[in-house]
Structure 1
């Protein structure tokens, strides 16, 4: 698999728009804005077009902001960074495509954008400050609170490996295996798979709490996910509970055989 930051961003976007909760929030915000009619839209648009306008604005801004923020983080801070740096990168990264989306949608309803009461520069400044404020709340308040709650409520015996924190929330489950894909690590759980821009060795260091086997320089599997060890076309492979088969390289064959003997005792 040959994935770039753009492909990774598109995967994240698909995950966002696959969430019923996200759609519920977007529709709710769009309808409320359509009824109240901020930024002179109440005066210039009838109720039905006004609601349609704000629904498009909310959905378009959400999608554009997700693309901009995720792409900016993948290109500039793939390994994370200080809180201020994350807020700046995500906020600025989201503000540019959000501004473009708002302008494009507004042109459909307002041939003369001056009817909105905002110049292009003023609109961008609004989007920038909203983006920075939103990312500040998410990165500085929401995410730490969710992390603390998860730590407090989860029993020690069920402690989740750190690598799962890097995955979209709907992909966090029982770790199955990890495979290299160019500069990315493809992390597989019982809920799906996701790409993370990091080295496999670093990803392995974040799997504490999950017993695993290195079976190849590009593959590591969780012991619990191994269904069988087989020989296929004169090659040893590990067969997972999902039916997927991963090759075992000669340098790791002894480790796999030792696991196989231990599992049969």
Structure 2
């Protein structure tokens, strides 16, 4: 059972990292920033590239280095953070450590590229390059963490309902607001489709299965795939009107029709969904989940 729970956590970490990388690589700001950096570095030619490479080659070189090293570094940092767990966001020292570790493969990539272009004799010494890249990567990792924390702080603070105030959404049911008062969930759309689906790419607007908090994003799952949506979890639940569902954890909501049956995670109650996902049921929501026949 312990090994199964460990594999479940690792699979979740890998899937979360994959979704985060897809979000970054699909971001317009990422490509604009990379393009601007490539042009700047290509025109200035630092680290000996001015004399060694022509302008077109320098631009291509720095564009390639920017995309590959950032993707490799960010992907590894994100994976390490997901494996560590939600508490990681409280400690910048963790992010610095993740960045330093990610600097190892990034340094190897840069060294291999330089060795291929300039020859091994002309490439910088690997130990010195590794130390420099690890230091830079640690600093960049902390900066990125601070920026993401700043942009997501407001959403994160409001997205998690209080443990002693379970939020249920059964079709057009009611849900407690952050102030403790009960607010009527919005009516479903005329065709009965939940509004949350309108936030997904068209090819993923299938039958709503479940939703989970991922930092300040909501991972919305349907029978056609999943997508990350930047919004409060309570707002996402309100937009499921028209679907019989239930919040089973402060970070998880499930559609009752898509629940396959009870499960266990490290001996604790959980719900298995039709797509194979296993979601934990917290103590605050266990009675509602039991009434709904989920556990």
- Band the TM-score falls in, shorter-chain normalisation: 0.5 to 0.7
1:32 & 1:90 partners in 2: Cα distance? 27
1:122 counterpart residue number: 128
Pick one of 180, 183, 188 that aligns with 2:220: 188
1:134 Cα deviation after fit: 1.3
1:91 Cα deviation after fit: 1.3
In structure 1, stretches of 5+ residues that fail to align are: 152-158, 164-172, 181-185, 195-205, 211-220, 231-238, 258-265
1:130 & 1:254 partners in 2: Cα distance? 51
| Change in 2 beyond 3 A, CA 1:176/1:41 | same
Equivalent pairs, count: 200
Superposition TM-score, scaled by structure 2 size: 0.54
| Change in 2 beyond 3 A, CA 1:92/1:24 | same
Matched, 1:222 2:237: yes
1:247 & 1:5 partners in 2: Cα distance? 22
1:61 counterpart residue number: 69
2:151 counterpart residue number: 146
Superposition TM-score, scaled by structure 1 size: 0.59
2:12 & 2:290 partners in 1: Cα distance? 35
Structural RMSD (CA): 4.2
| Change in 2 beyond 3 A, CA 1:61/1:253 | closer
Q: Are the aligned partners of 2:244 and 2:257 in contact in 1 as well (CA < 8 Å)? A: no
Cα deviations by residue, 1:107-155 (Å, 9 ceiling, x for unpaired): 331223x435x31111111111111111222334x2454356x47xxxx
Q: Are the aligned partners of 1:53 and 1:109 in contact in 2 as well (CA < 8 Å)? A: no
Matched, 1:97 2:105: yes
Q: Which has the higher helix share?
A: 1
| Change in 2 beyond 3 A, CA 1:253/1:103 | closer
Pick one of 105, 110, 117 that aligns with 1:109: 117
1:8 counterpart residue number: 16
| Change in 2 beyond 3 A, CA 1:40/1:228 | closer
In structure 2, stretches of 5+ residues that fail to align are: 1-7, 162-198, 201-207, 246-253, 263-286
